[in-house]
Amino acid sequence: MSAPKPLNILIAPLDWGLGHATRSIPIIKACVDRGHTVVIASTGRSLALLRREFPELTCLDVPAYDIAYQEKGSFILKILGQLGKIFSGIRREHRATKEIVRLHQIDLVISDNRYGFYHKKIHSVIITHQMMVKIPSFVIAEPFVYGWLQLQHKRFNTIWIPDVAGGANISGDLSHKYPVLKRTHYIGILTRFSRPLSLPAAEKTILAIISGPEPQRTLFERLIVTQGRLLPHQFILIQGISDEHRDEQLTDNIRVISHLPGKELYDLILRCDVIISRGGYSTLMDLALLNKKCIFVPTPGQTEQEYLVKELGEKGLVVAGDQSTFRLEDALEKVQHTKGFYIPSNEQAFIPFLEAAIAEAVKSKV
């Protein structure tokens, strides 16, 4: 019996920061390694990053929801005011999915938090850790948001939660508080990095990874530069701007790099003594296996990041900061007394679930 023909697989990560794109990288690599043809659909900096990582693949610019982010106040309230954009964006990307499937003869769709990227006649998977959303100022609304998310998830054949199912997990209530659909699987921590057999000797250098949507990305960068230039430490600041090519010595003790490919960033993380970053979920997954001293400063108003970072801080794994009151010197002192950020998992745990989805797609072709 001949081996099944390679599939055409559509992978579509959301463009809110770079996290959805970076956690798609191991899935894309695994698909390519198995001989399948991958088509990537994203937009903005996420698409630019994936084009650099996979220059040989077809990359399509499919705009997402055109969300404007707040400079002050609640991220949730800002999003609620733009629900019309989100709903119309979901409909628009669903129409785009149909066209991409037709033009590229797609056999399997894998969406990362883009609710319109599914197809009724093709096995469709969604990657999401958001079974519910934290709304501290309006807790009564959380069950209703959970119900709406369940309706979105039901459009997909399979739901992948990038986390572990047990108590030592990253997502906490976001993936574990409410019941999940039977077609849901915890696929382990999804990261482009792997746990090294041994860590290199740490250099006395602080690595600040600046990511996330504007204008908060720039505000956070300015904060680190303003305070860091006055301290007796060496800093490397990665701006998370994948469509630029900057590498310069900004001050005597601060080097600024616009973006690094995954392998170079991984090597730099392993060498540096302390990591400063946002609390984005994909960033947490990338760092969870490396047992580094970490300072996390959530994007203001983003309740998910605030919740995740607070939980890790209360466990003594990291230093949890607040951008409005953040003092870099104090955080660097406190981080030396943390346990180090480590969540046990296997970075290859997703492979059996990917192979199962591929098998389902093959069956639907017969």
Domain annotation covers residue 115: yes
Domain annotation covers residue 2: no
- The whole model's pTM is what? 0.86
Q: What is the pLDDT of residue 40?
A: 98
- CATH number of the domain enclosing 211: 3.40.50.2000
Domain annotation covers residue 198: no
125 is in which domain, residue-wise?
Answer: 8-190+347-365
Domain annotation covers residue 169: yes
Q: What is the pLDDT of residue 101?
A: 97
Q: How many residues does the chain have?
A: 366
The Cα–Cα gap between 326 and 274 comes to 16
φ/ψ bin of 25: left (φ > 0), alpha (ψ from -120 to 50), beta (otherwise): alpha
Domain annotation covers residue 247: yes
Q: Is 9 helix (H, G, I), strand (E, B) or coil?
A: strand
Encode the chain (366 residues) as per-residue pLDDT tens digits.
345 689 999 999 998 777 899 999 999 999 999 999 999 999 988 999 899 999 999 999 998 766 555 455 555 555 565 566 778 889 999 999 999 999 999 999 999 999 999 999 999 999 999 999 887 777 888 898 899 999 999 999 999 999 998 778 899 999 999 999 999 999 999 998 888 777 777 778 999 999 877 888 899 999 999 999 999 999 999 998 877 788 999 999 999 999 888 889 999 999 999 999 998 899 999 999 999 999 999 998 888 899 999 999 999 999 999 999 999 999 999 999 999 999 888 889 999 999 999 999 998 776
Same domain, 207 and 321: yes
Angle between helices 328-335 and 216-228 (to 10 degrees): 80
Which residue intervals of 155-277 are DSSP H helices? 173-176, 216-228, 262-271
Q: What is the pLDDT of residue 1?
A: 38
Q: How many domains, in total, are found in the chain?
A: 2
Domain annotation covers residue 90: yes
